[in-house]
Amino acid sequence: MKVLVVGGGGREHAICWKLAQSPKVTELYCAPGNAGIAHVAQCVDVKATDVDGMVAWARDNAMDFVMVAPDDPLALGMVDAMEAAGIPAFGPRANAAILEASKAFSKELMKKYHIPTAKYQTFTELDKALAYIEAQGAPIVVKVDGLALGKGVVVAATVDEAKQAAREMMADHKFGASGSTVVIEECMTGPEVTVLAFTDGKTVVPMPASQDHKRAYDGNRGPNTGGMGAISPPPQYTPEIARRCMEEIFQPTIDALRAEGRPFQGVLYFGLMLTPDGPKVVEYNARFGDPECQVVLSLLDTDLMDILQACVEGTLDRLDIRWKNEAGCIVVLASGGYPLDYQKGYPISGLEEAGKAATVFHAGTKLGPDGEYLTNGGRVLGVTATAPTLDEAIAAAYDAARHISFQDLHMRTDIGHAF
Ligand code: AMP
Ligand code: GLY
């Protein structure tokens, strides 16, 4: 099969790395890809958000299957467009990807179908939002409605902080049009876990749980990032909690979307908080999480291509998906200053040495004029290790990560020990 993966970060490197192991995949392409992905797939110079360009390329080059990994092209309807062109494509259609693209939509869905989540109200007028914050008191959470790269959420400790956030979103348009609607919700407490699940719209198969580390600095301090590292499985996610999540959250969400005429085919990301009242949904994403994907796919034994096809064909109930009985850890190596200001273009050394002990996924790299690897993003690399125990996996990931250097390299030193 000729397969195209859309995207170009660490998540897409992990997906391509796994698909390259499939005997079914004879030609693998990635658009736009990156310097690390180029080891396992041929990179194609089409932007991930260029829906027409991507469909044209896939058709002209006779792709048999397309895997759309990032949120933006999903929300833009890339899967719908591929289907219209007769190309099987993995990922939700736009009418289901809205689960991530609109928090107002996802909160309403959860309310209607009694899926546990924080209590909330949606606002389009600033004065009403401010009055609600005043009435509820703090702590309280203020979120922009649309996609904001994980940065449109303020967990406010005081009423003033919450009001300031609402003003910035709704009056100052800090997040552009995404902030014209805000969701204000109850502040939940408890450890956070991610569960990624494969689904064909009827059957849902959760992958091993994982735990992202979203803050930039050790001790869960500093600004929110796309994710600085992850482990799998997190010790807090017990079999009893997993059972409750399946009954109260995973299957009900899939059934709700189908009942609404928006069947969800692809990977559904459940961002969960294990509160004293039980597991509740913090957020849904319509795709693999990054960096969670890198550690979870490292634990997958089954051919990923078989799973992607079963999701598209609606036959997931017939597939036996197997996982290594191990644990995993990914440590992200970022450019100093990420997620705010950072420089790019620094040479990277130590990749070969690190690659002997762990799998190094490239998130933001490019090749320099002499074929050397250069930093090319906020998150640069994801060093991923698996081992029989979580402690061993964490130690192995850090041992490998310490071989790598580039100017202003920043990594957290407490991945797996922060919660
Ligand atoms: P989101 O983009 O919705 O995942 O929010 C980003 C982060 O903000 C989450 O990972 C949580 O750590 C935090 N957060 C979001 N909603 C809540 C909430 N209702 N209560 C407590 N923390 C929250
Ligand atoms: N790691 C969080 C996300 O992918 O949204």
Report the percentage of the chain scoring pLDDT > 70: 98
pLDDT digits (tens, 9 = 90+) for 19-67: 999 999 999 999 999 999 999 999 999 999 999 999 999 999 999 999 9
The SS3 call for residue 257 is helix
Quick one: pLDDT at residue 217? 97
Quick one: pLDDT at residue 85? 98
Quick one: pLDDT at residue 149? 60
Quick one: pLDDT at residue 376? 97
pLDDT digits (tens, 9 = 90+) for 237-281: 999 999 999 999 999 999 999 999 999 999 999 999 999 999 999
- Which two three-digit tokens encode residue 340? 């705010």
Task: Please compute the mean of the pLDDT values over residues 207-219 and round it to a whole number.
Answer: 97
What does the alpha-carbon distance between residue 152 and residue 162 come to, in Å, rounded to a whole number?
A: 13
Amino acid sitting at position 314: G
> 155 C-alpha vs ligand 1 centroid, how far in Å?
7
Quick one: pLDDT at residue 215? 94
Quick one: pLDDT at residue 177? 76
pLDDT at 384 exceeding the cut of 90: yes
pLDDT at 223 exceeding the cut of 90: no
Quick one: pLDDT at residue 151? 66
Phi/psi zone of residue 190: left (φ > 0), alpha (ψ -120 to 50 degrees), beta? left
Quick one: pLDDT at residue 86? 98
Crossing angle of helices 103-112 and 94-101, in 10° steps, is: 100
Task: Please compute the mean of the pLDDT values over residues 1-29 and round it to a whole number.
Answer: 98
pLDDT at 374 exceeding the cut of 90: yes
Quick one: pLDDT at residue 39? 96
The edge-to-edge listing of strands for the beta sheet with 140-144 is 120-123, 182-186, 140-144, 153-156
Q: pLDDT band at 173, cuts 50/70/90?
A: confident
Quick one: pLDDT at residue 347? 98
Torsion of CA 415, 232, 11, 174, to 10 degrees: -60
Quick one: pLDDT at residue 390? 98
Does the beta carbon of 282 lie inside 6 Å of ligand 1?
A: yes
Asked if omega into 347 is within 30° of 0 (cis), the reply is no
C-alpha separations of 92 from 133, 308, 377 in Å: 35, 12, 27
The SS3 call for residue 196 is strand
Residue 241 or 103, more confident: 241
pLDDT at 394 exceeding the cut of 80: yes
What does the alpha-carbon distance between residue 43 and residue 33 come to, in Å, rounded to a whole number?
A: 5
Cβ atoms within 10 A of the Cβ of 126, count?
15
Quick one: pLDDT at residue 146? 75
Report the percentage of the chain scoring pLDDT > 90: 93
Phi/psi zone of residue 91: left (φ > 0), alpha (ψ -120 to 50 degrees), beta? left
Q: Atom 3, ligand 2: which residue's CA is nearest?
A: 289
Among residues 147, 154, 145, 149, the alpha carbon closest in space to that of 105 is found at 145
Quick one: pLDDT at residue 148? 65
pLDDT at 147 exceeding the cut of 90: no
What does the alpha-carbon distance between residue 365 and residue 177 come to, in Å, rounded to a whole number?
A: 31
pLDDT digits (tens, 9 = 90+) for 283-329: 999 999 999 999 999 999 999 999 999 999 999 999 999 999 999 99
Q: Atom 12, ligand 1: which residue's CA is nearest?
A: 192
Probe target for ligand 1 pocket from 71, 103, 110, 141, with the most ligand atoms within 8 Å of CB: 141
149-159 in b/e burial notation, b at 16+ Cβ within 10 A?
A: eeebbbbbeeb
- Which two three-digit tokens encode residue 330? 């990914």
The β-bridge partners of 4 are 29, 66
Among residues 400, 369, 373, the alpha carbon closest in space to that of 384 is found at 400
The SS3 call for residue 177 is helix
pLDDT at 104 exceeding the cut of 90: no
User: What does 296-315 look like in DSSP terms, one character per residue?
Assistant: HHTTB-S-HHHHHHHHHHT-
Closest atom of ligand 1 to CA, residue 282: 16
- This prediction has a pTM of 0.94
User: What does 107-146 look like in DSSP terms, one character per residue?
Assistant: HHHHHHTT--B--EEEESSHHHHHHHHHHH-SSEEEEESS
Q: Which helix (DSSP H) or strand (DSSP E) does residue 351 occupy?
A: helix 351-357
R_g over Cα of the chain: 21
Residue 148 or 237, more confident: 237
Does the beta carbon of 185 lie inside 6 Å of ligand 1?
A: yes
Question: Which residues does ligand 2 sit against, CB inside 6 Å?
Answer: 150, 212, 226-227, 285, 289-290, 292
Quick one: pLDDT at residue 348? 98
